[in-house]
Structure 1
């Protein structure tokens, strides 16, 4: 079956029209610029480094096209010169093929607009379409904002003595709580499922 028409034309909770699409190798410069715009704290929480430049190996890993095993999507404002407002990715586990690692980054100035929740919904659906049944997010324990958001969207978590690991069970929609983020997630899943579950991107 055909996939959705891309980019997706959507509207954030504050009424801002945005576009959403996968990133690929042609987006290296855009991703590098978005990385430069992150605060040192945001870089550390997402990439575990505070350096002002993203390395070529990391760009290769992020933007490498590996259908069925890895996807990376971005949200951007079409009224601006293209710079992702946020991006999220999933990688299938090599040892647990029904599990994938989920990561999300939203630029500092764009936080608290529902961008991460929208991206979670997209990654939820695209990974599930590829046979993934659980998404796993690893978070430093001091990143209280991310930990709270993951819980508010229905992830269960535990601390292994080094980091917090959160898990969403993708088949269990009843586990999504009636929080603001949870309800937004459920609404995006319902809205986007017909297109994103229908076929590839």
Structure 2
């Protein structure tokens, strides 16, 4: 599935939430995107642990070392109504290996969601973040969410470039000068 940068294909909610889809990246490698499941706890733990310190800081807006059991449970408990998450996996010598993840969590009134995306350091620059975010945006639109936001470190230039390519606006976070808020209208 190939989509021009910044455009998000229309997709039914059911298909987007349940389907596993293959995507070819810029370097010719293929990843499978699928819904994150509770049984992916070990994949998620390994993925986070193998991110560089900078990538973990960008993803969690702070330093974390080895992710706790509570964090892994929180990240893999996804109801696909209030919280949605997709993983990008590749076949490895020991089974599946997670190389990227994107997720959002809805606001209490359901009108907005906050998203996050992370890609393994060695897989960055291949378009995987774009593919993950396009799927997340398509699902959010299909579920009637009106706005998607992402709070990011101001110096996270890769996220800045991704967000702008996808049509997000960017503004300073009024609560933290070291952060920015990316906003995307989904209407």
Cα deviation, 1:116-153, whole Å, max 9, x if unaligned, reads 00001100111112111211010111222212321222
Structure 1 stretches of at least 4 aligned residues deviating more than 2 Å after TM superposition:
1-6, 48-52, 78-81
Q: 1:87 aligns with which of 82, 94, 101?
A: 101
Contact 2:115 2:148 in 1 (8 A): yes
* Matched residues, number: 170
Equivalence for 2:80: 67
Contact 1:101 1:137 in 2 (8 A): yes
Where does structure 2 lack aligned partners over 5 or more consecutive residues?
1-11
Equivalence map 1:41-52=2 (5 Å): 41-52=54-65
Which structure has greater helix proportion? 1
| Distance apart, 1:79 and its partner CA | 5.4
Q: 1:12 aligns with which of 3, 25, 30?
A: 25
Equivalence for 1:117: 130
Equivalence for 1:3: 15
1:128 aligns with 2:144: no
Distance 2:26 2:165 in 1: 17
Distance 1:36 1:115 in 2: 19
Contact 1:31 1:83 in 2 (8 A): no
> When the two structures are superposed, what TM-score results if normalisation uses the length of structure 2?
0.83
- Secondary structure at the aligned position of 2:66 is classed as coil
Q: 2:185 aligns with which of 162, 169, 174?
A: 169
RMSD: 1.8
Equivalence for 1:101: 114
> When the two structures are superposed, what TM-score results if normalisation uses the length of structure 1?
0.78
